[in-house]
Amino acid sequence: MYQVTSPFWQFVDHWQTLIAGVLAVLAAFATIYFTLMGSKWEVDAAQEQIKTSVEQERARTVAEKVAFLTMLSAAMETVVVDVSASKELFGKTVSNNDFSVEAYLARQRIKKTAFGDIRAALVRIGGDAAGDFLRLDNEIDDFSSGWQEFQGVSGGRFLKGKNLGLIQQLTKIENLALTIRERAKSQLDVPP
């Protein structure tokens, strides 16, 4: 039989249960510590991921708003150009007739470029332009519907627009478009 002669190994031999217990307690503390640290690292990583997601969403929202305001401003510029073209088409012709071909052409000149996209974006983005935009949309519809079909003496049909109030309606449309365009431009100049 082997006899332990070293004092260290004699101590270990006699107190091995106590030593094993102490080592088990240390291992348990180490396990708890590293589990807690791992959880803290996971929480920190999750918080960082959430922060990054929020920043990306904020940047996306700002970019979407800038794109919307740019499109709104451009669409209103198109309306202003169309109003000018309508005024030229109608000319300074003063007619005693209630309807004219020139008035029809002027009433059909204003197009609602990108209005569908703007309307959809207004639902998502909101803003104070919605009321004026919807009024403008309605004014253009009302303006362009001011025409009638006439029967010619030879049986042919032709279209004539209503002369009365044409210039006033054009001015109203132009003023609304200018107001919306300037509001959009001023919001583009303001840093987010």
Kindly report, residue by residue over 18-35, the tens digit of the pLDDT. 888 888 999 999 899 888
Residues 104, 160: contact at Cβ < 8 Å? yes
Residue 16 has pLDDT above 90, yes or no: no
What's residue 35's pLDDT? 87
Alpha-carbon dihedral sign for residues 165, 170, 176, 178: negative
In this structure, is residue 67 part of a structural domain? Answer: yes
For 174, list phi and psi in degrees, rounded to 5: -60, -45
In this structure, is residue 169 part of a structural domain? Answer: yes
In this structure, is residue 163 part of a structural domain? Answer: yes
Which contiguous run of DSSP H or E holds residue 92? none
In this structure, is residue 11 part of a structural domain? Answer: no
Q: How confident is the model at residue 37 (pLDDT cuts 50, 70, 90)?
A: confident
What's residue 186's pLDDT? 87
Distance CA 40, CA 47 (A): 10
Domain count, the chain: 1
Q: Which domain holds residue 145?
A: 57-189
In tens, the pLDDT along 45-81 reads 889 999 999 999 999 988 988 999 999 999 999 999 9
Which contiguous run of DSSP H or E holds residue 20? helix 16-90
User: What's this model's pTM, rounded to 2 decimal places?
Assistant: 0.71
In this structure, is residue 19 part of a structural domain? Answer: no
Residues 186, 177: contact at Cβ < 8 Å? no
In this structure, is residue 176 part of a structural domain? Answer: yes
What's residue 123's pLDDT? 82
In this structure, is residue 149 part of a structural domain? Answer: yes
In this structure, is residue 16 part of a structural domain? Answer: no
In tens, the pLDDT along 131-160 reads 899 999 999 999 999 999 988 788 788 899
